Structure 1
Amino acid sequence: MDEIDPWTLGLLSSPEPSVAWRAHRLLAGLGDDDPAQRRRRELVAESDNVRRMLAHRRPDGTIRKGNETNAYRKWQGPHWTLAGLAELGYPPGDTSLGPLVDQVFAWLLAPRHLRPPSTAVLPGQGDRIRRCASQEGLALWYLHELGLADERTEILAARLIEWQWPDGGWNCDRNPTAHTSSVQETLLPLRGLARHHRSASTAPPAHLADAVDRAAEVLLRRRLLWRRHDGAPISPDWGHDPLRIQWPIRFYDVLFVLTVMAETGHIGDPRCADALALLESKRLPDGGYPAEIRTARTVDVVASGGIFADWGPTGHTRPNPYVSIDAAWVGIRSGQRDGTAITPLRRASASR
């Protein structure tokens, strides 16, 4: 068994509870039923980051700016607050977050959400519904991570499957000539559906695992980061260079796509090899990995591009603890550092 580098091992004893929880979960393999892990999650709920993120709740438990009802407001509205809490390891089942969850569903389940411009169906293209499915995908993921999923999450999962394009992904491009899925709009629905699949209390339907594998194939056909027709790096319409690690808002990049491949059981596919090599090339001498591009700035007020939590350092030469844990875990799952790759969902389901 290969030894994990000393710097990464040091994360296990980090004084920041979210870092310690993440390290023990991903690197030490401790489950949520472990008493020490439960205590770490309790400490996460008491941490400065969580306090900052939830300090802007109103007496009714909602987060609003004035009379604003937009749950998607970047990056400090209810949608992104819940996503951040899930990333930090906030303890599951906290009913005090119910008003935030209701805000998210009031947005996603509103009738106008299914009408233009939010959702569009072009003439003769009923099999290619134009929808920013990343919104439903992210919500599906964090609701399960936070133990706050209910019958409404089934609606989100059903929508994602209904909106899946013939090639297996999703796209919100309203240009009639757009005929293939967007990698950016496919990654989060893939993650959300896979998380939904893992949370099934009974044997999940076969079409759910099928949808996950089809979505993963959209990314694998491009070796995750390179265009199919000429092999050049993909150039997203929004976000930053996907060959560089972006944090804390996760745009489509080398680390995030490999993380999702590991979560969904596809990290052992040979088509991940080039992206894995790229990620490993970013490993710093001390063993950590950097957050190369900062996607949100830490602030104390509601501000454009702002986020309340402190997600660690950014820069090419400074290791970021959250990024380092995820990158090390990807290496473990791929078999490059320790352990073996897990099987894709379709095959794993058959052995349940």
Structure 2
Amino acid sequence: MSVDRPLIDWLLDSDPAIRWQVLRDIVGAPEREWQAERCKVEREGWGAELLACQDADGQWAGGAFVPAGYTEDMWRTAGQPWTATCFSLQQLYDFGLDPACERAQRTVALIGFNSKWDHDGQPFWDGEVEECINARTVTAGAYFGVDVSPIVKRLLGERQPDGGWNCERCNGSHRSSFHTTINVLEALLAYESAKGQTPETRAARAAGEDYLLKRELYKRLETGQPADERYLKLLYPPRWRYDVLRGLDYFRLASLAGGTPPDARLRTPIAHLRARQALNGTWPLDWQLTGPVWFKMEEVGKPSRWITLRALRVLRWWDAAGVDTRQPQS
């Protein structure tokens, strides 16, 4: 799809974390240009602000998953906190902090030495027991050059009979969830990008992808109705949450990584995404998760540069393949 210059200018009038991705994915700028912009993430804007919040021991807020001293009463009153190490690393990954830079490498080493999971004191890069948490640890670890193979092996053994994953497995669940499945799929793809694909990871991804595709990314298999109306709302940052744009962006990345065309079963969520675009070419931020954050980047109800960037690159990928003319796959 073509993108009008005023819309590109609006996207570029933003933080380096967004600008470098616009230059790479929308403008098609030379690598030297978008890499130069990407380097600014460490020194300017949101990336620099988040790094300035880091503790001397490499953690954020003194904890792996929950800030130090954050009580159950605080959780009930203020909501789930998003300031601890797990979520801060996830955000730096989204920002595109150069994993080879000295600050990133020092952070990885310090976290490995100092950060322990709240569950049972496990070292951070060993993971813990919950699939969503372990998946995000794999995504960050693979990106920043950590060997997270043992966590991947664990995730591969925790797949549900219907093809996906569910972090309530330890509480007896035998059905997959959209939330956990997208977290694990992103993690396996990030691991393959760093270490290479194995028959086990490819088979697991194929099963998880099929779980989502059978449901057209948001529907109940039994009724064809939305499994959760919020899956059709646009959210950023997603943290552990699922929405259709997150699902579509995963399938875009998987398609590009594997050199495979888009699956025609994505036609319905693609149509939904198109329908949400405003006349000025932007997409809105529909909602955000509650709970303490280091800083807010965008306002609910307003046009969102994060969501517009992600939506535009999904549609460019889809339109380039011309999938709308194909018959749905069985």
When normalised by structure 2's length, the TM-score is 0.80
- Specify which of 188, 197, 201 is matched with residue 192 of structure 2: 197
Aligned to 1:301: none
- SS of the equivalent of 2:232 reads coil
The residue correspondences of 1:53-92 to structure 2 (distance < 5 A) are 53-65=50-62, 69-73=63-67, 74-92=81-99
Q: How many angstroms apart in 1 are the aligned matches of 2:17 and 2:33?
A: 13
Aligned to 2:307: 323
Corresponding position: 1:282 with 2:276: yes
| Contact 1:333–1:340 (Cα < 8 Å) also in 2 | no
Q: How many angstroms apart in 2 are the aligned matches of 1:294 and 1:177?
A: 29
Q: How many angstroms apart in 1 are the aligned matches of 2:273 and 2:189?
A: 23
Per-residue deviation, 1:109: 9.8
Q: How many angstroms apart in 1 are the aligned matches of 2:236 and 2:109?
A: 27
Per-residue deviation, 1:254: 1.7
- 1:80-112: CA deviations, max 9, x gaps? 001111111212222221256427974299677
The residue correspondences of 1:1-352 to structure 2 (distance < 5 A) are 2-11=1-10, 13-29=12-28, 34-65=31-62, 69-73=63-67, 74-93=81-100, 94-99=104-109, 101-102=111-112, 106-107=116-117, 119=129, 132-145=130-143, 148-151=144-147, 153-173=148-168, 178-200=173-195, 204-235=197-228, 241-250=230-239, 251-265=241-255, 268-296=262-290, 305-315=291-301, 318-335=302-319, 338=320
Q: How many angstroms apart in 2 are the aligned matches of 1:30 and 1:139?
A: 31
| Contact 1:144–1:196 (Cα < 8 Å) also in 2 | yes
Q: How many angstroms apart in 2 are the aligned matches of 1:110 and 1:87?
A: 28
- SS of the equivalent of 1:293 reads coil
| Contact 2:166–2:177 (Cα < 8 Å) also in 1 | yes
Aligned to 2:70: none
Letter in 2 for 1:223: E
| Contact 1:167–1:218 (Cα < 8 Å) also in 2 | yes
Task: Name structure 2 gaps, 5 residues minimum.
Answer: 68-80, 324-330
May I ask how many residue pairs the two structures share in their alignment? 298
Q: How many angstroms apart in 1 are the aligned matches of 2:208 and 2:118?
A: 22
Q: How many angstroms apart in 2 are the aligned matches of 1:208 and 1:98?
A: 24
* Percent of aligned positions that are identical: 21
- 1:122-166: CA deviations, max 9, x gaps? xxxxxxxxxx31112122222333xx2222x11121111111123
Q: How many angstroms apart in 1 are the aligned matches of 2:243 and 2:166?
A: 17
When normalised by structure 1's length, the TM-score is 0.76
Q: Quote the RMSD (CA, aligned, Å).
A: 2.8
Per-residue deviation, 1:62: 2.7
More helix by proportion, 1 or 2?
A: 2
Task: Name structure 1 gaps, 5 residues minimum.
Answer: 120-131, 297-304, 342-352
